[in-house]
Amino acid sequence: MASQPIGIAGAGAWGTALANAAAAAGNDVVLWMRSPEQADALVATRTNERCLPGVKLHERIRPTAELSALAASSAVLLVTPAQTTRDMSTALASVLPVAVPLVLCAKGIERGSGAFLCDVVAEVRPGATVAVLSGPSFAHDVARGLPTAVTLACRDTALAEEMANALSGPTLRVYHRSDVRGVEIGGAAKNVLAIACGAVAGKGLGESAKAALVARGFAELLRFARAYGGEPETLMGLSGLGDLVLTCSTAQSRNFAFGQRLGQGMSVEEAAGGKLVEGAATASALVALARAKNIDMPIAEAVEQILSGAWTLDQAVDALMNRPIKSEH
């Protein structure tokens, strides 16, 4: 794997941070972005000032706007927003040999179809290997070389181990696992729950409410994952509890910050402020999947009701607090 470059599709905050981490781990990296102007600017300045101000691009990274430049990669990390997965993996299918694994790094569920992102890729690139990388990792932390750990899941356990080794470096520790479904559910669902935590913070409901929400949110995550074939043990790990705790802790998270602004009384549009808020894009699909299997997810439901304009935040709090008293599970 080391002799071929790692390909990265998407040069936003996370794609650029992962490119730096992969290069620091000893790999050559081809970093693709859709804009030729951005690629030229990256080649010239070796910084991605819009997404990661102040971070120098590692010398082993080759920026490009030619998708075909990814064809010789040992693996391609797809790091564009979750809702672009179908279009991006279709475009990649036309240039990548089927033997090149695709590692999904976005966190979400496809709106409209309600499809998990791995299933989207399996549809448009049949026979190709798909993996998922997820866990507690803010791009700005990783890009600055602050330490963290994430999980890479692939059904091919030998390949999962090989890719985890290739991407692990001095400050990014990559664990491997075979439970692809569990790892992708952890990443997708925690963003929706983080919006609720942010809203509690923005509304000034206190630290106790926030902690209660994390615990009950985690119970929802576990129920959902169990019903959709994820292993509970996976959700107790980095892409589950780990990422839920991170994203529910700080306004450094875009999902939390979005919820916080909703809690302060802003509209959905004002609160998003033009930034990528994956939990807002995924909430309706997550809730529809939960309803389809009668999975009780009142916190995710409340987020969806607020986002659709059906409930105010006060109504959501009332609905959550007035649910029948029951045994904790």
Ligand X SMILES: NC(=O)c1ccc[n+]([C@@H]2O[C@H](COP(=O)([O-])OP(=O)(O)OC[C@H]3O[C@@H](n4cnc5c(N)ncnc54)[C@H](O)[C@@H]3O)[C@@H](O)[C@H]2O)c1
Closest CA to 181 of 242, 240, 98, 138: 240
Torsion angle in degrees (nearest 10) through CA of 132, 253, 18, 61: 150
Tell me which amino acid residue 291 is: R
Binding partner of 247, given ligand G3P, ligand X, none, CB within 5-8 angstroms per partner class: ligand G3P
Asked if 163 contacts 101 with a C-beta cutoff of 8 angstroms, the reply is yes
Q: Between 38 and 250, whose beta carbon lies closer to ligand G3P?
A: 250
Q: Between 86 and 107, whose beta carbon lies closer to ligand G3P?
A: 107
CB 282 to ligand X: min, Å: 9
Tell me which amino acid residue 300 is: A
Q: Is 56 a catalytic residue?
A: no
The reply, when asked if residue 155 is annotated as ligand binding, is: no
The reply, when asked if residue 210 is annotated as ligand binding, is: no
Asked if 35 contacts 29 with a C-beta cutoff of 8 angstroms, the reply is no
The reply, when asked if residue 26 is annotated as ligand binding, is: no
**CA 319/CA 224 separation, integer angstroms:** 20
The reply, when asked if residue 32 is annotated as ligand binding, is: no
Site residues for ligand G3P per CB under 6 A: 107, 136-138, 191, 194, 243, 246-247, 253-255, 278
Q: Which residue among 56, 190, 203, 210 is the active-site one?
A: 190
Asked if 306 contacts 200 with a C-beta cutoff of 8 angstroms, the reply is no
Binding mask 229-258 toward ligand X (x if CB under 6 A, else -) reads: ------------------------------
CB 166 to ligand G3P: min, Å: 21
Binding partner of 136, given ligand G3P, ligand X, none, CB within 5-8 angstroms per partner class: ligand G3P
Examine residue 70 and tell whether it contacts ligand X (CB under 6 A). Answer: no
The reply, when asked if residue 14 is annotated as ligand binding, is: yes
**CA 244/CA 227 separation, integer angstroms:** 19
Binding partner of 10, given ligand G3P, ligand X, none, CB within 5-8 angstroms per partner class: ligand X
Cβ-Cβ contacts under 8 Å for 11 (sequence gap 6 or more): 19, 31, 32, 33, 38, 39, 42, 48, 51, 63
Binding partner of 84, given ligand G3P, ligand X, none, CB within 5-8 angstroms per partner class: ligand X
Tell me the CB-side half-sphere exposure of residue 60, using CA atoms within 13 A. Answer: 19
Residue positions in the annotated binding site for sn-glycerol 3-phosphate?
Answer: 107, 135, 137, 190, 243, 253-255
The annotated binding site for NADPH is made up of 14, 34, 107, 139, 254, 276, 278
Task: List active site positions.
Answer: 190
